A and B are shown apart, each in its own frame.
Chain A
Amino acid sequence: SQTIHQWPATLVQPVGSPLSLECTVEGTSNPNLYWYRQAAGRGLQLLFYSVGIGQISSEVPQNLSASRPQDRQFILSSKKLLLSDSGFYLCAWSVGTVGGNTIYFGEGSWLTVV
């Protein structure tokens, strides 16, 4: 069966420091991968999505970037964190192009920028 792992689960970072969140999917190939962010008490905001290696679509201009160095690996990065980057980051995956494909989420990463 397919599983998704995301780490670290929690981190506290100072303003101006770098960030790297990693997400790995197991049990499937060529997944569609997504990064969402959820600010406290808010809905989910799409940050990036990828339909294949090296193919990244950015939805929101910001100081974050994403990379997909391997088929089942999706990394969210920042060179210099801002206070407004604090939130709950969720990696997600789906497979194929059928409209009913469900998106499944990882456990999430809580980021606090201080």
Chain B
Amino acid sequence: AQKITQTQPGMFVQEKEAVTLDCTYDTSDQSYGLFWYKQPSSGEMIFLIYQGSYDEQNATEGRYSLNFQKARKSANLVISASQLGDSAMYFCAMREGAGNTPLVFGKGTRLSVIA
């Protein structure tokens, strides 16, 4: 079974608008972490934001925020005031347990920002 599901293969957003990228996860662990990465066309993977399963507040990093709904097992990424440079693939990922275990990634969402 998929541990990370990203149901939107592609999304379009107008410049300066906000956009939400969906991510749902599946785990029976109580301790886990959720991550979002950005991959521009160059291929590099850029860490954006992290949310721990015990964190009560939603994580925020600049224009990025993570809408964490634990009961629904969702960890959506919200990008506010979209910029042309935000056009990229976005991956949701999860780590279960200790911090030396690998991340499991979703299949990604391609975001295109339109001028």
Contact = CB atoms under 8 A, between A and B. Distances in A.
A108 B43 contact: yes
A44 interface: yes
A11 to B, nearest CB: 14
A105 B48 CA distance: 12
B65 to A, nearest CB: 17
Given A90-B45, A99-B31, A107-B43, A46 B102 contact: yes
Nearest to A48: B102
Q: Majority SS of interface residues in chain B?
A: loop
B43 A88 contact: yes
A66 B50 CA distance: 28
Nearest to B55: A100
A32 B98 CA distance: 12
B50 A100 contact: yes
B100 interface: yes
Contacts of B44: 105, 107-108
A53 to B, nearest CB: 14
A94 B104 contact: no
Contacts of A107: 43-44
Nearest to B50: A100
A94 B91 contact: no
Interface residues of B, number: 27
Contacts of A36: 105
B47 A102 contact: yes
A74 interface: no
A101 to B, nearest CB: 4
B52 A99 contact: yes
A98 interface: yes
Nearest to A9: B43
Interface of B: 31-33, 35, 37, 43-45, 47, 50, 52-53, 91, 93, 95, 97-108
14 contacts: A43-B91, A44-B45, A44-B105, A46-B104, A59-B102, A92-B45, A97-B98, A97-B99, A97-B100, A100-B33, A100-B52, A100-B99, A102-B35, A102-B50
The 7 closest A-B pairs by CB, nearest first: A101-B99, A105-B45, A43-B107, A44-B105, A98-B99, A32-B100, A97-B98
